[in-house]
Amino acid sequence: MSTIELRHTIIKYLSQIDDVSFLKAIKTIIESKATGEFYKLSDYQKKRIESGRKQLKNGKTISHESLQKEIDQWLSTK
């Protein structure tokens, strides 16, 4: 079951519960996990993410091992 499907199932069940103390307990659990904070991305960041998604879609990727080698080379030149 995907995260989205699980959320929908939980919402469906919660909408049928009338026990206030139980719902308050669930609310407490949810609040402990949900920070309510969302990332605010700049236009530049949004463009970079979109660029990365296009590269992925077009198969322009490299392996983790290759990336690690590039990083190691870059760090050794600094």
Q: What is the spatial distance between Cα 9 and Cα 51, in angstroms, rounded to a whole number?
A: 34
> pTM of the full predicted structure?
0.41
Q: What is the C-alpha separation between 25 and 14, in angstroms, rounded?
A: 12
Quick: pLDDT tens for 13-43: 999 999 999 999 999 888 888 766 667 889 9
Tell me 16's DSSP state.
Answer: T
56 Rama sector, left if φ>0, alpha if ψ -120 to 50, beta otherwise: alpha
Per DSSP, 15 falls in state T
Q: Name the residue type at position 63.
A: S
pLDDT at 34: 77
